Amino acid sequence: MSAILKLDNPGSVLADSKKAIAKAFGRAAGTYDRCAAFQRDVADRLLNHVTAARGLYGLDVGCGTGYCTERLVNQGATMTALDLSSEMLLKTKARCGAEVTAITGDAEALPFKENSFDFALSSLALQWCEDLSLPLSEMKRVVKPGGKIYFSTLADGSLWELSEAWKAVDSDQHVNHFLTPSQINIALAQAGVNLDTLDFSDIVTLYASALELMRDLKGIGATHIETRQNRGLGGREQIRALESAYRKNILECGRLPATYHVCIGVITNE
């Protein structure tokens, strides 16, 4: 199966918020790779946990432009790539070639039968799900007993500098909420998974300005805010006030930090 499948069964009808997320990422499919240095760093850290891929059937959930899918194909896995955005999937197909099966679908309702894969991997997609326990349960369902589930997601504390700086400008929500480590642990318990590893670490990326950071976020498509219509990056006055508030965090090297609190988990399926 090499075509991109559009799911049209009633169960797969996407909620408006998912359509908005898919649209935002779809718009960014052409700019994603240029702006995704942090996402590649996290993917590399997650892929370091994958010790066996050769000859196995794998699923990349929220594949984006296919960075992880390609790495796993190169390690000898037969990959299926799934994403909400068909524009992202086109990039994955262009990157990985015909042998990768690309499917539009939702991590919270995976369109596969039980025990379809030897492993599943998801890097920096699950923070876009409404209920983290659902994609975890779904990956558990579609991965065979004994198979691995590898995931990375963002936790509370991510982009705190940007969030704080916006608070000095207006009372809108400009940065999405992320789950706390204890909420992530609760979701894992609700999904009933058997954890091998759960690691939280800070990754600090550096920018010349807050605008540069926001351009990267826009460039990767991370623009859908749960409680807010997308209104662009902001007007000139707003950006000036934001830059001035953000500069309170300036480092000795003259750069501005953007902190991500990254969660990496490895599960062995029962």
Ligand X SMILES: C[S@@+](CC[C@H](N)C(=O)[O-])C[C@H]1O[C@@H](n2cnc3c(N)ncnc32)[C@H](O)[C@@H]1O
**21: contact with ligand X by CB under 6 A:** yes
**Residue of 80, 92, 101, 123 that binds ligand X (CB under 6 A):** 123
Q: In the bound complex, what is the minimum distance in angstroms from residue 154's beta carbon to ligand X? A: 9
**83: contact with ligand X by CB under 6 A:** yes
**262: contact with ligand X by CB under 6 A:** no
Q: Answer for the pair 85, 19: CB distance below 8 angstroms, yes or no.
A: no
**106: contact with ligand X by CB under 6 A:** yes
**Residue of 77, 220, 263, 266 that binds ligand X (CB under 6 A):** 220
Q: Measured from the CB atom, is 53 or 84 closer to ligand X? A: 84
Q: Tell me the window of 118-126, 140-148, 210-218, 254-262 that interacts with ligand X (CB under 6 A).
A: 118-126
Q: In the bound complex, what is the minimum distance in angstroms from residue 21's beta carbon to ligand X? A: 5
Q: Measured from the CB atom, is 27 or 167 closer to ligand X? A: 27
- Whose CB is nearest to ligand X? 64
What mask, x for binding ligand X by CB under 6 A, covers residues 165 to 194?
------------------------------
Q: Answer for the pair 101, 79: CB distance below 8 angstroms, yes or no.
A: yes
CA angle at 55 for the pair 58 and 66, rounded to the nearest 5°: 40
What mask, x for binding ligand X by CB under 6 A, covers residues 22 to 61?
x--x----------x--x---x------------------
Interface residues toward ligand X, by CB under 6 A: 21-22, 25, 36, 39, 43, 62-64, 67-68, 82-85, 88, 106-108, 123-125, 128-129, 220
